[in-house]
A and B are shown apart, each in its own frame.
Chain A
Amino acid sequence: MLFPTIDFGLFFAFSFALVWGLNSYNTLKKVVLLALSLAFYASWNWRFLLLLLASGAISYVVGLYVDAKSRRPYRRVALGLGVALDLAILGYFKYLDFFTAQVLTLAHALGLNPSIGFVNVTLPVAISFLTFHAISYIVDVYRGRLAASRSPLDIVLYISFFPHLVAGPIVRAHEFLPQLASPPRVGDFSFGENMLLILGGLFKKMVIANYLAVRFVDPVLTDPTQFSRFDLIVAVYAYAIQIYADFSAYTDIAIGVAALLGYRFPQNFNQPYRALGIGDFWRRWHMTLSRWLRDYLYIPLGGNRHGALATARNLMLTMLLGGLWHGANWTFLIWGAMHGVALVADHAWRRSAAFARFGAGPIARVVDWAATFHFVCFAWLFFRSPSLDAALQFIAGVWSDNGAPSTMPMVVLPLIACGALTQIVPSQTRGAIGAMLDDRGPLAQAALGFALLYVIVVMAPSASAPFIYFQF
């Protein structure tokens, strides 16, 4: 059950009235929200509900033990055990076969033939996001940022709340759990702004991302040897727009849906292709993952507190693991390593005397933007390619031209321009229009909402591509 489907539309229509109807009965409302979230997850594979509940149980028990106020002995050991259990579940489902393959490759290269088999398990939907939420809770409780919850209902609901369950944003425990303490107030949210957020997300996914994926990017990336140099280069930019439109659409809809149910999620994207420098890019792209990696990995590793070399090591480790989090494939590791090296260089450049002298001028800013944007686009090539060989084949095609004529559909360039526009429009625009809609009342809201949805349905292609981050 994915967001831009009739299934989810009906599910949301049912949930919306039910949840607000129970708003005066907070505990009952949370029970219903949990049941809805479990039903949402079960729509993929009901067997993995046990995994979800197990993750909630581990978090609940470990949270009670490691609570900063409890002063129990071996709190740190219990925390380590809880994190290890969460990571073991993730490792078993997501990485075991990958590491088995690497061990077998190495063993064969050494002339050995160990009897190790693949586990061949189905990857549970949302396993990575689920693990990050679980770890966030127990670490926040250990650090005293949040009191351990006495309510297992709250913990399981935090981990499984359906708007963020499949592809984020990664909502940290201290941001979400306090919201469960009392019923939400409608007046704290702008209906107009959140309606526009959802409809904007639908447009980005159903029109921009789907057209780019189905008509151009997927065919080019599937067999780059059949396409001209021009097509290959445009495909890299098209993929940069596609992945932004696709992923930001999912989280925009998630944030909007959560707000319409009375819960606030953090922002996940802030016009990332405007970034000046890779550090700035990661403050704008998948912001909730960046903050998670910073708070639960980079800072515990030592952050920037122990000199330049240790900082570089910590940045590299964080980005390598961030890359691996996306999937068990060398392409993700290379993508993470590229960003790690770029972050180290960016970190050093911005602290240099040369940057202090030349870095703030308008020409330097243009160069900064162009270098950042093109580096990010180039790195996406490794992220998107199914294998390292495919990525190298793609680069070879750009070099040799493959001798093929350009077959790029004419719709691609307007879509790229449309995607670029999302990076330029002032970020306050939606809030301003939303506030105006709130003032105008339901008739104006319904008229604009219907008009925008009508245009999206007219423009959407019949074929669609799955959400990219759904696989992580």
Chain B
Amino acid sequence: MHPLTYSRAADPAAAIAAHAQDPHLAFIAGGTDLLGLMKDRAALPDRLMDINGLPDMARIEVLRDGGVRIGALARMSDVAADEEIRRRFPVITESLLFAASGQLRNMASMGGNIMQRTRCAYFRDEDDLPCNKRKPGSGCAARHGLNRLHAIFGWSDECVATHPSDVAVALSALDAKVVVRGRNGERSISFTEFHRLPGNTPNRDNVLDRGDLIVAIEVPDRIEGRASHYLKLRDRESYEFALVSAAVAVATNGLRIGSVRLAMGGVAHKPWRLTEAESALRGVSLDDVQALRTAIATSFVDARPLAHNTFKIELAQRVALRAVQIAGARA
């Protein structure tokens, strides 16, 4: 790794001011993504500021309105083991447990998890292949390269990468909020608006600015939360990023779907909400497989495959169907 300096953040305000003023400073929490990026020379900060000592940012607490607030410094393993979250939002627990390994989950923070950068091999490559995310204006090697693992929704000619986080997919389905402290105080960003589509600025993964510090993630109380499921398909059984995944939360009247929340991973530059399918699934009976399939298909009209990932369009619909059935069986 390149030479760098290291400091510990004394308090949030000082950390935010330092980050706002210094474009070569990066916050470090778990470090599991940042160290990989630095080793691959995809991130070269001159200065690291360790935010692990910031107070009250690792707590998991139930809010007065029934929602849950997850501190940005809470580790993935602590959130996955939390009994309240397991009981009320199994989709969050499962999405965490299907990600990374036991060691990495003990290290990785929740704030860092949603900030992790794409696993596109061209972006991560040490030899500086064309990548607009790594080096704006250099092109996209994946667009006409090996793109089996890449996006089917929302991509541009400048970038076809997918977002690697699993828990972000679950949080998107539940309409969670990212609580950010910045130069002008605190604000909440809806999860579906936190990550960006690539457009012609794929170097920006999300809407955060310099001087922004994620302090927490808030999950609103959802009647659908309890009957929820995260289904992840990957090239090996464990310890691998998603080929395609689905986060589903459902509320039912008997066998009929009352309301459903559905987001997918491994298909776009951000967690991909299937809003059309959510509407179409309302009122459909869980034992009517053909009707479920037809409703889910309404969200795939705009799917556009790349040279090597046409299979994802069919696979994603099957994953969504299976996830709806499993979540529905829990209702």
A and B are partners in one complex rather than unrelated chains? no
